[in-house]
Structure 1
């Protein structure tokens, strides 16, 4: 079974879901910057498209969520502000959230689209052509 290109940067991608992410170094967890929480994601290949779904409940996509691409890396950032209310108990997470994923080689930035519905951000893009990821030889010209 071929390796999924977006999982190459983390040797054990699912182990981090077992624990609270506060102790995991950002370089290992895929988080961007210190003081941020990791965003839980799932990746799917569906009908020629690659989907990245991120859990971001209770957020306003226009004000609280940012999706960007640079140098073949997809980055999702979000900010969840705590409402000032007297609470007896809260297990909600507030603050900054971020996640970065390597995109498959050959993914065109202009083909990436994002939508937010029912607390789930879905980022979708067409799977790059198979030959875009294949290794090939480059002819060497002899300079005379």
Structure 2
């Protein structure tokens, strides 16, 4: 327990804490993970920091040039503490996020790969060899 200083705004702080607790308990803990995006000559790489997850928690989907990375983890442990105890606040029982990326035409959609290792989801997006944007073409002026 921590010491609490009481002041004239204390009822509002309590109300704010109560609302925050209710939102977290109803919706679960929500946060967007940090993302790195890199480009090399041969591919794009997306790295998503998601520690504590497992491979089965992720859903990586590609449709019509839109890459969606979604993750959901639910706790399977019971909500009781030790005998004679109960939780007053419990935040690390649920996590969910979804992030979308519009991909350039140069991505070879058929060869996208994803790997989860040591808390980081890595999605490799190889570039097509026949990128039409890299081909030079002359346009007639009429």
**TM-aligned CA deviation for residue 112 of structure 1:** 0.4
1:72 maps to 65
**TM-aligned CA deviation for residue 108 of structure 1:** 2.3
Structure 1, unaligned runs of 5 or more: 1-34, 140-144
Structure 2, unaligned runs of 5 or more: 1-28, 82-86
Change beyond 3 A, Cα 1:137–1:41: farther
2:112 maps to 112
**TM-aligned CA deviation for residue 111 of structure 1:** 1.2
**TM-aligned CA deviation for residue 134 of structure 1:** 5.7
When Rg is computed on C-alpha atoms for both structures, the one with the higher figure is 2
Change beyond 3 A, Cα 1:93–1:133: farther
CA RMSD of superposed structures (Å): 3.3
Secondary structure at 2:110 match in 1 = helix
Question: Structure 1 stretch 121-130 or stretch 86-95: which is displaced more?
Answer: 86-95
**TM-aligned CA deviation for residue 93 of structure 1:** 8.0
CA distance, structure 2, for counterparts of residue 122 and residue 128 of structure 1: 19
| Structure-1-length-normalised TM-score | 0.57
Q: How many residues align?
A: 104
Secondary structure at 1:59 match in 2 = coil
Secondary structure at 1:57 match in 2 = coil
Q: Is the 8 A contact 2:74 2:93 kept in 1?
A: no
CA distance, structure 2, for counterparts of residue 36 and residue 55 of structure 1: 14
Change beyond 3 A, Cα 1:85–1:106: farther
